Structure 1
Amino acid sequence: MEGDAFSAFAITALRLAGHLTAAGDRLAKPAGQTSARWQVLAAARRGDLSVAQIARALGLARQGVQRLADVLADEGLIAYADNPQHQRAKLVRLTAEGAARLGVIEVAQAGWANKLGAAFTSAELDAARTVMARVMEVMEVDEIPGN
């Protein structure tokens, strides 16, 4: 039955998300960061996104991203800038120190991804990514369980 297959897929995806978060935390730790903080730093690199836009892009609650951004700003890793499109929604920008920390993480992540990626073909990873993207698209249209 499709529901059973989807449930098994969802459980596997949740377990994978846990593994990826744990790996991200290990990769980010030498730079004094966590996976969540890393995600906000990476989004801040664009320089043209507000906290709300970052939250939407990451699929996270705006309040949680705001808390992380405020901590990162207090530590001098990001800075808030005026937003010409919205007076109250400041833009989040990466500082030089934030870029340095992000660079440390990204070097470690690249080595990790290359090592792990070698266990799969590009076609396998592309197919998995395609299925996951389709699941997210369907879920965005049908967000209420049972609909």
Structure 2
Amino acid sequence: MSDAQARLSAMALSSFALNGQFLKIAEQLAAPAGLTATRWQVLGAVLNEPLTQAEIARRMGITRQSVRRTASQLVDDGLLRMAENPSHRKAKLLQPTTQGLAAIEQISPQHAAFAKVLEGRLGKSHMAEISDTLAELQSVLDELS
């Protein structure tokens, strides 16, 4: 195995482990608001702008079927609403409701506290560097795939 292959394998294995850790942390942070990590992920995707289910799936790297199922549950629970999409008649836009925004707001204090603890361990500049490096890796992988 070449050095490049070994580094790629190490990055992939670390990413898989990190994904599991982030999901576990997200479950703990979202639980007091009555959400799961998946429901928080889909709801959080539309906080800044309305998106279609396909757009959420692409941005989050999850399947459309998973987004469709989760979004449907969130709509049924009154946390998301579907709006007309001027760009596409069939693909509705998802937007948070007042209740959905309240659920996200309920998560915010624990989320902020955990972020502060993590920043304390890593340091502000190193945490920013890690975030930038992960964003760069994601961008390069998007270009290559």
The answer to whether 1:95 aligns with 2:97 is yes
Aligned counterpart in structure 1 of residue 142 of structure 2, from 137, 140, 143: 140
Any idea what SS the aligned residue of 2:82 has?
strand
Aligned counterpart in structure 1 of residue 55 of structure 2, from 53, 59, 81: 53
How many residues are treated as equivalent by the alignment?
143
Q: Is the 8 A contact 1:44 1:78 kept in 2?
A: no
Q: CA RMSD in A?
A: 1.4
- When normalised by structure 2's length, the TM-score is 0.90
Query: How far 1:19 sits from its partner (Å)?
Result: 0.7
In 2, the alpha carbon distance for the partners of 1:46 and 1:121 equals 28
Identity of aligned residues (%): 34
Partner of 1:115: 117
In 1, the alpha carbon distance for the partners of 2:113 and 2:21 equals 17
In 2, the alpha carbon distance for the partners of 1:41 and 1:24 equals 13
In 2, the alpha carbon distance for the partners of 1:118 and 1:132 equals 19
Any idea what SS the aligned residue of 2:88 has?
coil
Structure 2 residue identity aligned to 1:20: F
Q: Is the 8 A contact 1:81 1:90 kept in 2?
A: yes
Structure 2 residue identity aligned to 1:82: E
In 2, the alpha carbon distance for the partners of 1:104 and 1:86 equals 33
In 1, the alpha carbon distance for the partners of 2:144 and 2:46 equals 30
Any idea what SS the aligned residue of 1:93 has?
strand
Any idea what SS the aligned residue of 2:105 has?
helix
Partner of 1:39: 41
The answer to whether 1:79 aligns with 2:81 is yes
Q: Is the 8 A contact 1:47 1:94 kept in 2?
A: no
In 2, the alpha carbon distance for the partners of 1:14 and 1:141 equals 20
Q: Deviations over 1:28-65 (max 9, x none)?
A: 00111111110111122234211111111111111110
In 2, the alpha carbon distance for the partners of 1:57 and 1:126 equals 21
Give the stretch that moved more between structures: 14-23 or 134-143.
Answer: 134-143
Q: Which runs of 5+ in 1 are unaligned?
A: none
Give the stretch that moved more between structures: 3-12 or 128-137.
Answer: 128-137
Partner of 1:19: 21
The answer to whether 1:66 aligns with 2:68 is yes
Q: Which runs of 5+ in 2 are unaligned?
A: none
- When normalised by structure 1's length, the TM-score is 0.89
